[in-house]
Structure 1
């Protein structure tokens, strides 16, 4: 009897384990950040109070709260920006207090200079911290003790936030990126399934227009998946646990690129279906494409949906599955066969109906592109990946500085230029 109860309990737990795992993932990520932020703020306060920077050093935990971010790279970036903003604000306030003091016009000058300086330093979300620090220090007459305590507490808070983010499980965000790709593939598959169903029923210009709008709405899902993957890529920077994402990133990025281009092909297909309705008389909208053509196109879209779901399973899994085991090749072969069937039905003499020949060509081009991009989405990547050393903004800054230096560098006169060597 006891053994039977144990078996019942074990079966109950196994049946609900996926739900428990999903609940743990959803609660775990926000819960981990909550714990890290709390520990960082507490640690910053304890250290600042032990050093004795001021009475009730709340600026240290406040800084820790602001700098602890979802990735290690963002935490370090936020720490540097906040320290720079506080330090610059204190220096501005000390200089003004030494020469002028607090007046309405000196306050206006401090705010203006601080904002300009913050823009030059590219302080991002901490831009306003610079004039705030300057005004607070200026309000007490630029006292060295107040200025020093503000700098020390900011340094302590930034260091505590960075330290906690290093010690306590720096997140990689690999799983959310895979889940976002899986959701994108599922959304695209459901769209193509629904479009195939609509093509098998009555068809009109209004239907084609509505499906084109729905296809454009898929762009939001593509952008969401791209943001999740970009966050996973950024989480590798300054992260000692980055090796796993470096291995998985080529597969995820290849899948996202293929799905993104498949989405563009779906839009082209819907646009071609709509354009055809504008080249026939209004009373012939429902027969812009014959029933057998729409049925063949619907069958092609059914296979596209199956193939996209397979790509989603390939991309969203945390354990890579060999492409041969996915059954994708069977879907691709079926796509080729159904594409050939559709091409046969769309044959038309360009001399007899040049508009139909052009529109059918656009439709087949979109169909071909869908087939090619679905295949490319699950293609193994031959390139390894490493996170960029510098941010794109920093690289662009360096490029701009080099270009400006080349423009300013004087060129020797034509007569003084060295002659080229003889051949």
Structure 2
């Protein structure tokens, strides 16, 4: 019975952390509230535009809700203005309907409403087709504002979850998959390596490379959840830590694919019966790739850990794995050097394997991570300074214009 409750609790926790479940619940509640408010304020007997707008604008993050609300309201207002303008010139007919749809879609592209371009034409058609044009236009705009306002208020009062943990889990999963692939490659180094098996590892590396897009989507959602969220005080730093961490792992995954390509080429040269590497080199390489995979996982845990104590433990593990990897790398280099002197034809592929391992270890080095993080912080500070300067110049122009009006009114007196 206790085991059943444990599994049930774990399932509930997974559901609570699922963005789809969170969005479903939040959108349903916000749309219902928007309808109740619109019934009180709108003259329409069934003001369904308000819950529809709330349904569309309520997202899993405050930032995406705000941007969606602005685009939604903008599309409806533009559509209503187009309908009012057309109604003053032409009535409703097949050619005027086609003309208003064309104009709405074109204007929607220029006003940057993105996915709500069709909403411009829909609003214009609905308003143009009613007899009480002015009243219907105002009601539609009012209901849209109510829905957008309720959606925004709902997300600010009941702040949505921060999806940093979900993004961190995706980053760690990517690193663990890369480590698993390196271990599979390492197990095949000491024996005959059929080209088919080496090609299969290369295919897995390519699939791992493609999985980065899914992790990037989870990270973008986490970045949005940190923007404008009242729960977060250091959102910029958290975003940059995750982003630079994913960039580093992306480079490492690409290098793993290149490593798999080099080993596939070496397998083609060796043939199905010949050993891929000499026995002593294969043992050292297996140890080296194990440390490299462990360093990637430790790095992923480090960038996704929010608690300082856990971060210190992850950093210590990363330093230990990197130290062991560099020691193994030097041993492999000495062994390969002796074998290359006996068989010079293999020096290029041997050297490429070492170069690819070096690239991964360099990317995972703490000093490299700190340098990239500082560069991103400096870039963000410069962008923020430029934004503040633009706002300051705009405010200065407004003060100057206000002063000119004041002096002009004084001269008239």
Aligned to 1:149: 139
Asked if 1:269 is matched to 2:242, the reply is: no
TM-score (norm 2): 0.81
Asked if 1:167 is matched to 2:157, the reply is: yes
Contact 1:93-1:142 at 8 Å conserved across structures: no
TM-score (norm 1): 0.80
SS at match of 2:217: helix
Aligned to 1:289: 277
SS at match of 2:365: helix
Quote how far apart the aligned CAs of 1:265 are. 1.8
Give distance in 2, aligned partners of 1:329 and 1:216.
28
Asked if 1:260 is matched to 2:250, the reply is: yes
Quote how far apart the aligned CAs of 1:156 are. 0.8
Asked if 1:97 is matched to 2:113, the reply is: no
Match of 1:23 among 12, 30, 42: 12
Give distance in 1, aligned partners of 2:233 and 2:8.
29
SS at match of 2:47: coil
CA change 1:73–1:262 in 2 (3 A) is same
Aligned to 2:209: 219
Quote how far apart the aligned CAs of 1:162 are. 0.7
Give distance in 2, aligned partners of 1:353 and 1:336.
25
Output aligned runs, 1:17-416, within 5 Å. 20=9, 23-29=12-18, 30-141=20-131, 143-278=133-268, 280=269, 283=271, 286-320=274-308, 321-323=310-312, 326-347=316-337, 355-376=345-366, 379=369, 383=374
CA change 1:79–1:19 in 2 (3 A) is same
Give distance in 1, aligned partners of 2:66 and 2:329.
52
Deviates more, 1:143-152 or 1:29-38: 29-38
Give distance in 2, aligned partners of 1:53 and 1:377.
64
Give distance in 2, aligned partners of 1:377 and 1:133.
55
CA change 1:364–1:107 in 2 (3 A) is same
Aligned to 1:403: none
SS at match of 2:188: helix
CA change 1:189–1:28 in 2 (3 A) is closer
Quote how far apart the aligned CAs of 1:226 are. 2.2
CA change 1:60–1:208 in 2 (3 A) is same
- The structure whose residues are more often helix, as a share, is 2
CA change 1:375–1:34 in 2 (3 A) is same
Deviates more, 1:110-119 or 1:205-214: 205-214
Give distance in 2, aligned partners of 1:377 and 1:216.
29
Deviates more, 1:141-150 or 1:321-330: 321-330
Give distance in 2, aligned partners of 1:86 and 1:105.
22
Q: Which runs of 5+ in 1 are unaligned?
A: 1-8, 399-423
Contact 2:78-2:120 at 8 Å conserved across structures: yes
Contact 1:237-1:387 at 8 Å conserved across structures: no
Deviates more, 1:145-154 or 1:353-362: 353-362
Q: Which runs of 5+ in 2 are unaligned?
A: 391-413
Quote how far apart the aligned CAs of 1:286 are. 3.2
Give distance in 1, aligned partners of 2:132 and 2:370.
62
The count of corresponding residues between Structure 1 and Structure 2 is 379
